[in-house]
A and B are shown apart, each in its own frame.
Chain A
Amino acid sequence: MAKQLQLLILDDEPIVGKRLAPALNKLGCEIEAFEDPERALKRMEEKEFQIVVTDVRMENVDGLQVLEKVLAWSPGTKVIMITGYATLEIAREALTKGAFDFIAKPFTPGELRKIVVKAAQALGFNLKHGEELVSG
Chain B
Amino acid sequence: MAVIIVSSDSLSTAAHIAEQTARGLNYRCVGREILGGLGKRYGASEEKLHKTLDELPSFFGVRARAHAQCMAYIEEAVLARLSEDGAVCHGLAAHLYVRGVSHALKARVLADPSEIIRETMKQKGVSPEKAAKIAKHEEALRSRWSIEIYRSDETASSLYDLVINLSRVAPEEAVRMIVESSSHPRFRPTTYSVKCINDMALASRVRVVLLALFPDVVVEADGVAVVIETAAVPREKEKRIEAIEKLARSVPGVGHVEVRVANDMVRQAAESFR
Q: Is the CB of A95 within 8 A of B185?
A: yes
Known: A88-B101, A88-B102, A91-B190. A104 touches B185 (CB 8 A): no
User: Is A98 part of the binding interface, using a Cβ–Cβ cutoff of 8 Å?
Assistant: yes
Please state if B195 and A104 are interface contacts (CB–CB under 8 Å). Answer: yes
Contact, CB under 8 Å: A98 / B185: yes
Report the minimum CB–CB distance from A64 to chain B (whole Å).
13
Interface string of A20-64 (1 = CB under 8 A from B): 000000000000000000000000000000000000000000000
A127 within 8 A of B: no
Number of chain A interface residues as a range: 10 to 19
* Interface residue? B45 (CB, 8 A): no
Closest chain A residue to B191, Cβ basis: A103
Task: List B196-245 residues whose CB lies under 8 Å from chain A.
Answer: none
Q: Could you tell me the distance in whole angstroms from the C-beta of B113 to the nearest C-beta in chain A?
A: 32
B97: interface (CB < 8 Å): no
B220, chain A: closest CB distance, angstroms? 14
Q: Could you say which of A87, A104, A111 has the most chain B C-beta atoms within 10 Å of its C-beta? A: A104
CB of B181 within 8 Å of the partner chain: no
- From the candidates B100, B184, B195, name the one contacting A88 in the complex (CB within 8 A): B100
**Residue B143 is within 8 A (CB to CB) of chain A in the complex:** no
Please state if B186 and A102 are interface contacts (CB–CB under 8 Å). no
List B contacts of A69 (CB < 8 A). none
- Assuming the contacts A95-B185, A96-B185, asked whether A103 and B102 have C-beta atoms less than 8 A apart, the reply is no
Tell me the minimal C-beta distance from B100 to chain A in angstroms.
5
From B100, B101, B190, A101 is in contact (CB under 8 Å) with B190
Q: A96 CA to B190 CA in the complex, in Å? A: 12
A92 at the interface (CB under 8 A from B): yes
Please tell me if the beta carbons of A115 and B102 are within 8 angstroms of each other in the complex. no
Residues on the B chain within 8 Å of A104, using CB: 192, 195
In the bound complex, do residue B102 and residue A91 qualify as a contact, i.e. CB atoms below 8 Å apart? yes
CB distance from B195 to the nearest CB of A (A): 7
User: For residue B185, which residue of chain A has the nearest CB?
Assistant: A95
Kindly state whether residue A86 has any CB partner on chain B within 8 Å.
yes
A115 to B190, CA, bound (A): 10
Interface string of A63-107 (1 = CB under 8 A from B): 000000000000000000000001110011101101101111001
B188 within 8 A of A: yes
User: Is B83 at the interface (CB under 8 A from chain A)?
Assistant: no
Name the distance in Å between A46's Cβ and chain B's nearest Cβ: 29
CB distance from A39 to the nearest CB of B (A): 27
Are B191 and A102 closer than 8 Å at their CB atoms? yes
Q: List 15 A-B contacts (CB under 8 A).
A: A87-B100, A88-B101, A88-B193, A91-B102, A91-B190, A91-B192, A93-B186, A96-B184, A98-B185, A101-B191, A102-B190, A102-B193, A103-B192, A107-B191, A115-B191
Residues of B at the A interface (CB closer than 8 Å) are 100-102, 184-188, 190-193, 195
Residues of A within 8 A of B (CB): 86-88, 91-93, 95-96, 98-99, 101-104, 107, 111, 115
Apart from A86-B192, A103-B190, A115-B191, what 18 extra A-B contacts exist at CB < 8 Å?
A88-B100, A88-B193, A91-B102, A91-B190, A95-B185, A95-B186, A95-B188, A95-B190, A96-B185, A96-B186, A98-B185, A101-B190, A101-B191, A102-B102, A102-B191, A103-B192, A104-B192, A111-B191
